[in-house]
Amino acid sequence: MQILLTLDKKDYEEGMPVFEKYSTRGVIIRDGKIATQHGSAGDYKILGGGVEPGEKLEDALIREVGEESGLIVIPESIRPIGEIVERRRDLFEKNKIYVCHSCFFFCDAKEEMTQTHMTESEIEKGFHLEWATAQEIIDGNEPFCETQPWSFRDREFVKMLVEKKILTT
């Protein structure tokens, strides 16, 4: 998959052990708005999450979007956009470098929905499905960019889509 952007905080020492993971992100657009997880604090997350061992990216995308939002991805609609690579000191294991490959896909979802299966953390943060404009995501994530790396990643991704005229604000 084409690398769209590398976000390297350079807040680690070279030679530290590396924890590397892959995740998928689904960009579902309806009426000019993107399906997101919107937190009670005001932040937005592009739908998606971690790929399990042995799982295909597309299968992880379908599973994660369903778990987080209840949206049912139409498998034939999945189209790769590209990858954002994040590299920084791990937030949980400070002696490790965290490298995450977020693989973004355009996809469509059925009109009907299913039950969500959010994590405890997502429930605690008040995440719920919300359709948001590009500008709402950019502005909403701004206050969280220093403390939540995923807010920075998703803001930069959406800004890139706007700059390439794939989305409008």
Angle, alpha carbons 7-124-8 (nearest 5°): 5
Which domains can be identified in the chain, with CATH numbers? 3-133 (3.90.79.10)
Q: What is the pLDDT of residues 88-116, one digit of tens each?
A: 999 999 999 999 999 999 999 999 999 99
Phi, psi of 43 (to 5 degrees): -85, 160
Angle, alpha carbons 12-15-21 (nearest 5°): 70
Cα separations (Å) of 66 from 8, 27, 28, 55, 112? 30, 13, 12, 16, 11
Cβ neighbours of residue 120 closer than 8 Å, sequence gap 6 or more: none
Per-residue confidence (pLDDT) for residue 169, from 0 to 100: 61
Model's pTM, two decimal places? Answer: 0.94
Beta strand pairing status for 18-27 and 44-50? Answer: antiparallel
Q: What is the pLDDT of residues 9-42, one digit of tens each?
A: 999 999 999 999 999 999 999 999 999 999 999 9
Q: What is the pLDDT of residues 142-154, one digit of tens each?
A: 999 999 999 999 9
CB burial of 94-106 (b: ≥16 within 10 Å; e: otherwise) equals eebbbbbbbbbbe
Instruction: Tell me what the pLDDT averaged over the chain comes to.
Output: 96
